[in-house]
Amino acid sequence: MSGGNASKSKVRSSKRQEGWEEAGGEFYQELYPGGEQELFENLQRADATKLATLLPSKQARNTTTVKRGRSQNERRQSTFARTTQSRDIHLSMLPDLSENLSNEERSWEEIMQIKAMPVPMSQKRELKARLQNATKLRLQGLEQLQWRQRKVWHRFRSRLGEVLAKLGLWHGSMRVIEGKFGTGVVSYFLFLRWLLFLNVAMSALTLCFLIAPNSLLYECFGNHNATAGCPDLGNSSGNVVLDFIQGTGWMEGSVLFYGMYSDQVLVYELPNFLGTMGYNMPLAYILVPITWALLSLVAVVTAGAKGFKERLVESEGQFYLYCNLVFGGWDFCVHNAKSAKIKHVALFNEIKGCLQEELYKEEKQSRTREGTLLLHLRRVLINAFVLLILVVSGVIIYLAFSFSTSSLYPFTGDLTTAGPNETYAEDLASAPSRSQIRNTLLGFLPYICIVVLNLFVPEVFGYLIGYEGYRPRHEILITLLRTVLLRLASFAVLLSQVYMQVRGVLGPEFLMTFLVNFPRSFLGRHSNGCLKIIGTQGFYLPKHVLDIVYIQTIIWMGAFFCPFLPIIGVVFYFLLFYMKKFNCLVNCTPSPVVYRASKSKSLFMSVLLVGFVISVAPVAYSVAEMPPSAGCGPFRGYAAVWQFAVATFEGLPPLVRELVFLLGTATFAVPAFAICLLLLYYYWAVATANRHMVAVLRSQLVLEGHDKQFLLNRLSAFIRQHQKRCERRNRAGDDDSIRQGSK
């Protein structure tokens, strides 16, 4: 029985769970009051499985642990154990065994914990009333202050939550979409709403610190012909609408573009202050983009951080797959009859797919060498073909761009001097002449090319992937990757072309890109719909996500040169939401693919982060290296925009300069770098150790399970033996008494 003893002590120690303190230092004790009578009754049924049902882990028992976060020194825990018999729910509440009376704060905390219990509301209210009316100790002095603070903070937070909930945008629309499509598609619309708020923040920054001062304040050196040096002014096409689209004429004179911002310190008079105050416009023009870039970065990273964390926790494998499907498969918010039917079919397909994955794995094993070789050859060929398509698209865009430049401005290759437009500058007819329209179209040609390519090439990719024999999940990922590469390529070509341009003209370029995309996303969805006359299409999530990430990248990139762009972005997103919603609800049917909502947010944030990096890099380069236009803009006269920052920096007091230089010297940088590396290594080591711990605990769990089984078997065997002995004794006793009676 020594083995049994050892396992018994192990069982006891596992019950005490002393060695299993989590990193947070939180441990709990399970109390098992009551039920003794029932235990003895059930022991008569000496069956291992029947005994198993008496185990605590099988009882419908709720244990809640309340963690005291009051101070680092004292961490008192109190545990509630509410036993629930199967039909008859009655509550027995046991306070902490160390104290008989609880103080105010603890009972307040316990009241807050009541909502976590899965019992009906009437019982919750009963419990609350009981807790409130029970005698409790009042807190004194510092503790009371701290507790009051906690209550106030808690109340403030709940009020804030209520106010924010009331201001929630598009709540009703989300509900309708949820009802039809489920939470997977709604995550896309939530992403859109999040981007809208981000752009609102960016617009607020630029509005307050750039646009408003420039329009309202005045220059003290009186040079109102700030635009005299700007080469493009007067290049109007004479028509309001055309001007709006192209960004020429009256648009150029507005605050939309970089060229219009003053390069001097603006002054303003405040009524109560003596003298005039200055507002350094160029400094603002540098600091504001840096601010919103940092703001966007922080927002994206914090929003995606939670999802990244979940990714690191390994929860793959058959078990989690099936659990996800069985317990998390049905979206409880879907209530549309047709959607419900489609959801049933989708779940059926997914389950069948999972069951077949195992078959696929077996098939992969059994694939002959020849077959594998052929498959790989096919994949290589198709990848080469895809690369060819990408290169060809890049060439097409380059050709379109050079064609448009050469035909619009045939005399010089430079967009700064106007060509044929000048002859029509005097033509002030209200209707645009044919040549003017032609010029506009030519100007838009490269962008239209990009749009058309982005429409058709992904379809080709989708067609090709069918021949590559990947798993369905991988198919989607690879197609997505290729589409991203296509967009990057087209954008890179575009940028390299615009690279030569003068700063003042860059703003309009971005506006045009932006405006072209506006009808594109509208057209794109509907042209697809027109192509498939019969039937509707599914809401293909990755494409839509790429759309808005693309738009956001353009906004980030262009917002330095065109401070109005975030505001346009806000309006655009607002309208886009309704367009997409309309498209989704009217044109699309719920997709037969089950979308995982949980992984969506982190995926969207990662793609957005990539877009952010791509957008910031060229802007940073142009700020650092490229000479700004000599005649207009806040940085005229400097060799590079960054020169201005350096010059301002020179003007700061010497102490600050010393400090900053210190940060740059080796004595600071090298130890800082070393410390960062150490921290990185430390976190990586902790992560590895935790992973290892998970594996160890898992195997320990398996052992415990074996022990439990063993003990149950022994117990049932023992009880049976005991019963037999008792029966024999009873029979012997009867015989005895019969014999005695008969004597």
Partner 1 sequence: MGVGQSYPGLTEDVLEDYTTLTYLNKGEILYLMKKFYSIDPVRMDADYHHRFEKNLILKKFDVLQNNPFQDRLFRVFSSKEDDCFSFEDLLDLCSAMSSECPIEVKAAWAFRVFDLDEDNQISSRDISEIVDRLTGAARRGHLLDDDSKNKIANVILEEINLVSSGGIGLNEFKIIMTRIPEFHSSFYFRL
**DSSP 8-state secondary structure symbol assigned to residue 652:** S
**Nearest-approach distance from CB 525 to partner 1, in angstroms:** 25
What lies within 8 Å, CB to CB, of 590 at 6+ separation is: 180, 181, 182, 185, 338, 339, 342, 343, 346, 538, 539
Give the chain's end-to-end CA distance (angstroms, integer).
46
CB 716 within 8 A of CB 48: yes
Burial of 705 (0-12, 13-18, 19+ CB in 10 A): exposed
Nearer to partner 1, 182 or 634 (CB): 182
Cα–Cα distances (Å) from 631 to 231, 233, 644, in that order, read 7, 11, 16
**Nearest-approach distance from CB 118 to partner 1, in angstroms:** 4
Write the DSSP assignment of 453-501 as a string of letters.
Answer: HHHHHHHHHHHHGGGS---HHHHHHHHHHHHHHHHHHHHHHHHHHHTTS
Residue whose tokens read 């009880």: 719
Identify any residues that bridge with 266 across adjacent strands, giving them in sequence order: 219, 279
What is the C-alpha separation between 302 and 296, in angstroms, rounded? 10
**Nearest-approach distance from CB 307 to partner 1, in angstroms:** 9
Q: What angle do CA 592, 596, 597 make, to 5 degrees?
A: 120
Packing angle between helix 565-582 and helix 171-181, nearest 10 degrees? 40
CB 243 within 8 A of CB 251: yes
**Nearest-approach distance from CB 345 to partner 1, in angstroms:** 7
Nearer to partner 1, 273 or 327 (CB): 327
What is the C-alpha separation between 596 and 714, in angstroms, rounded? 46
Nearer to partner 1, 122 or 366 (CB): 122
Nearer to partner 1, 29 or 402 (CB): 29
Nearer to partner 1, 337 or 666 (CB): 337
Nearer to partner 1, 345 or 669 (CB): 345
**Nearest-approach distance from CB 548 to partner 1, in angstroms:** 21
Write the DSSP assignment of 180-194 as a string of letters.
Answer: HH-HHHHHHHHHHHH
Nearer to partner 1, 384 or 694 (CB): 694
**Nearest-approach distance from CB 367 to partner 1, in angstroms:** 24
CB 207 within 8 A of CB 567: yes
**Nearest-approach distance from CB 62 to partner 1, in angstroms:** 7
Tokens representing 451?
């749009």
Nearer to partner 1, 40 or 319 (CB): 319
Q: What is the largest CA-CA distance in the chain?
A: 143
**Nearest-approach distance from CB 541 to partner 1, in angstroms:** 15
Nearer to partner 1, 48 or 630 (CB): 48
**Nearest-approach distance from CB 352 to partner 1, in angstroms:** 8
**Nearest-approach distance from CB 316 to partner 1, in angstroms:** 11
Nearer to partner 1, 111 or 460 (CB): 111
